[in-house]
Amino acid sequence: MPGVGDFYAGVLHPLTAIECLLPMIALGLLAGQQVRRSAILMLAAFPPGLTVGAALGSFAPAPTVVGWINLGSMAVLGLLVAARRSLPPIVAVALSTVLGITIGVANGSELGSQVSAYRFIPGLALAGLFVVAYGIGSVRALRPPWLQIGFRVLGSWIAAVGILVLALK
């Protein structure tokens, strides 16, 4: 992204790629539907996963399976949001961490030689933190039943996008 600094490129890059943004939104909505402890653990696990994944991805190109995992996670997370089921804390944290690593690898592997990984990766982690935190806050703050149904519908749309893109690949 010419014209912005490396830190802001890290912030903006996952927000402009639908295969990164929709799973992060779904993760935030799913975390918001969990009990408080699980939501906090998911929020705490996601940015370090992004950081580790981006650091790994900055050394080598991402394997093609990473794109498939990100699209598949979009479908799975969307279905979990639509189902509104509570997850055991260990499963919720594992899901957050694995998603963070795969999205991080996808973003880190696209770093060019002119972009500083030391500034890009913290921006990426901050963007992930904000997206998941806003998802949690939205689900928890907006309590009317019809809005909760709206979040579930949004989850089903995210799942549908993931399934359609997987079918077209």
Tens-digit pLDDT profile for residues 92-107: 999 999 999 999 999 9
Q: Quick one: which of 106, 138, 107, 103 has its CA closest to 31?
A: 138
Domain membership flag for residue 76: yes
Local confidence band at 86 (pLDDT 50, 70, 90 cut-offs)? very high
Domain membership flag for residue 149: yes
Q: Count of residues for the chain?
A: 169
Domain span at residue 111 reads 6-168
Domain membership flag for residue 133: yes
Average pLDDT over residues 32-53: 97
pLDDT at residue 129 in the model: 97
Number of domains in the chain: 1
Domain membership flag for residue 146: yes
Average pLDDT over residues 107-127: 90
Domain membership flag for residue 66: yes
CA distance 61 to 32: 33
Domain membership flag for residue 39: yes
Tokens matching residue 64 = 């093609």
Domain membership flag for residue 1: no
pLDDT at residue 2 in the model: 67
Local confidence band at 62 (pLDDT 50, 70, 90 cut-offs)? confident
* Between 169 and 20, the higher pLDDT residue: 20
Q: Percent of the chain beyond pLDDT 90?
A: 83
Domain membership flag for residue 62: yes
Spatial CB neighbours of 165, under 8 Å, sequence gap ≥ 6: 19, 71, 74
CA distance 14 to 28: 15
